[in-house]
């Protein structure tokens, strides 16, 4: 079999895994940055990719832990195999064992005919990403530890032991050593997970990356929506450099998405950026500080922006089942502001 045929087969396998959600999309080249601290973080992560030891990613919410997990996988010898991600906090304790280890037919009422493969089996020869590992109940941690030690699983309701070759990358936004001290996390499990540790810095510790990231996501969402990219004024750029971004990249992306819709094709002023970040009482669609606030050109401008904001709110309301609290949270505003906007656009 020639090299070209082998490459075709590998690409086909990758496409099949991607269709099943078992492929890592991101690489280190996708990490937008220019700061020295991120250079060092990526350098360490690249070094970790060269071995098969377990990795513990530590960082605040929204810092990009899964981005690093996928990048490590794609730079490793396991890149051609599955990358399986699971949010441990999203699984109730009653489902953890069957999801991670699988089950045999008839294991419990409602079980699938023929049984079901667990996530460890699905990740065989690849990587299993355990996000929010601190949320795994203490009562289940001993079972997870056994699998990590023995490298084998037993499906729920079954007797057969299945060997698995899986690299574990776990992630947390909590201090696991403190969790151990408080009796909420097993020390021996922490030892197994914390072989290689990678700290991912929050945005406030790499503020020079913020304008670069903001421009990147403004361009990304403008392209996605088919809009002209807005431009940041010098004052707006200065504001985002000083903003805390407690939600880190997740919060930054959310704000960039909103501004790419509401301010499509126009310059974002300092006042408008302050309003978008909740640092001012000025509404995004109020432009009293502009030099040109009258005449047909401005009226067309303002009307266009109002229509874009209305469509943006309608889309988010629909995506969140018209739950106002969730919609307001997604927009980065409080419920009362959302209510005023809904009333303004007749969306009650």
Supply 107's token pair.
Answer: 């294991």
Contact in structure between 195 and 57 (CB atoms under 8 Å): no
pLDDT in tens, 83-105: 999 999 988 888 898 899 998 87
CA distance linking residue 278 with residue 197, whole number of Å: 35
Half-sphere exposure of 68 (CA within 13 A, CB side): 30
pLDDT in tens, 123-166: 999 999 999 999 999 999 999 999 999 999 999 888 889 999 99
- What structural domains and CATH numbers belong to the chain? 3-201 (3.40.50.300), 204-345 (1.10.8.60)
Predicted local distance difference test score (pLDDT) of residue 322: 86
Q: What are residue 84's DSSP bridge partners?
A: 128
CA distance linking residue 130 with residue 69, whole number of Å: 10
- Read out DSSP for 127-176? EEEEETGGGS-HHHHHHHHHHHHH-EE--BT----EE---EEEEEESS-H
pLDDT-wise least confident of 11-25, 198-212, 287-301? 287-301
* 78 to 27, 167, 231: CA distances (angstroms): 13, 9, 41
Tell which wins on pLDDT, 230 or 281: 230
Q: For 229-246, what is the mean pLDDT?
A: 90
- Closest to 253 measured CA to CA, from 49, 12, 63, 11: 63
Q: Which ranges of 50-137 does DSSP label H, i.e. alpha helix?
A: 65-74, 93-101, 119-122
Q: What are residue 169's DSSP bridge partners?
A: 55, 129
CA distance linking residue 157 with residue 97, whole number of Å: 11
Average pLDDT of the chain to the nearest whole number: 85
Res. 73: pLDDT tops 60: yes
Helix (H, G, I), strand (E, B), or coil: what is residue 328?
Answer: helix
pLDDT in tens, 288-326: 334 334 444 434 445 556 676 788 788 888 888 888 888
Predicted local distance difference test score (pLDDT) of residue 208: 94
Rounded to 5 degrees, φ, ψ at 210 are -60, -50
* 14 to 21, 51, 72, 80, 322: CA distances (angstroms): 10, 22, 17, 7, 37
pLDDT-wise least confident of 34-43, 193-202, 208-217, 307-316? 307-316
Predicted local distance difference test score (pLDDT) of residue 116: 86
CA distance linking residue 236 with residue 339, whole number of Å: 26
Res. 256: pLDDT tops 50: yes
Predicted local distance difference test score (pLDDT) of residue 171: 98
Q: For 55-70, what is the mean pLDDT?
A: 97
Res. 217: pLDDT tops 50: yes
Tell which wins on pLDDT, 26 or 103: 26
Tell which wins on pLDDT, 157 or 79: 79
Predicted local distance difference test score (pLDDT) of residue 249: 96
Q: For 221-244, what is the mean pLDDT?
A: 90
CA distance linking residue 217 with residue 17, whole number of Å: 27
Number of Cβ within 10 Å of residue 15's Cβ equals: 11
Tell which wins on pLDDT, 226 or 55: 55
CA distance linking residue 75 with residue 305, whole number of Å: 43
- Closest to 302 measured CA to CA, from 262, 333, 337, 338: 262
CA distance linking residue 175 with residue 179, whole number of Å: 6
Percent of the chain with pLDDT over 70: 82
CA distance linking residue 46 with residue 44, whole number of Å: 5
Predicted local distance difference test score (pLDDT) of residue 107: 73
Q: What is the DSSP letter of 268?
A: E
Tell which wins on pLDDT, 170 or 278: 170
């Amino acid at each position: 079999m020639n090299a070209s045929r082998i490459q075709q087969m590998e690409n086909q396998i990758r496409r099949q895994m991607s269709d099943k959600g078992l492929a890592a999309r991101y690489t280190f080249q996708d990490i937008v940055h220019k700061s020295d601290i991120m250079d060092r973080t990526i350098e360490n992560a690249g070094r970790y990719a060269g071995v098969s030891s377990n990795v513990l990613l530590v960082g605040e919410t929204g810092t990009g832990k899964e981005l690093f997990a996928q990048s490590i996988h794609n730079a490793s010898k396991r890149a051609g195999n599955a990358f399986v991600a699971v949010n441990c906090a999203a699984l109730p304790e009653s489902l953890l064992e069957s999801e991670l280890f699988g089950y045999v037919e008839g294991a419990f009422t409602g079980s699938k005919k023929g049984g079901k493969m667990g996530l460890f089996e699905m990740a065989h020869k690849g990587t299993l990403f355990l996000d929010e590992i601190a949320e795994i109940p203490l009562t289940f941690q001993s079972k997870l530890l056994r699998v990590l030690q023995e490298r084998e699983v037993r499906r729920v309701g079954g007797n057969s032991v299945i060997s698995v070759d899986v690299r574990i990358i776990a992630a947390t936004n909590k201090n696991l050593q403190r969790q151990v001290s408080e009796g909420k996390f097993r020390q021996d499990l922490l030892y197994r997970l914390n072989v290689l540790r990678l700290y991912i810095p929050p945005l406030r510790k790499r503020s020079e990356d913020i304008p670069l990231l903001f421009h990147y996501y403004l361009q990304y969402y403008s392209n996605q929506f088919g809009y002209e990219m807005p431009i940041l004024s010098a004052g707006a750029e200065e504001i985002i450099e000083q903003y805390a971004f407690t939600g880190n990249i997740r919060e930054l992306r959310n704000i960039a998405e909103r501004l790419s819709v509401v301010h499509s094709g126009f310059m974002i002023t300092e006042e408008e950026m302050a309003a978008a970040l909740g640092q001012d009482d000025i509404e995004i669609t109020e432009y009293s500080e502009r030099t040109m606030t009258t005449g047909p050109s401005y009226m067309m401008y303002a009307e266009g922006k109002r229509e874009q904001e209305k469509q943006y709110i309608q889309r988010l309301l629909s995506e969140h089942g018209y739950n106002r609290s969730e919609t307001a949270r997604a927009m980065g505003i409080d419920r009362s502001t959302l209510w005023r906007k809904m009333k303004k656009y007749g969306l009650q």
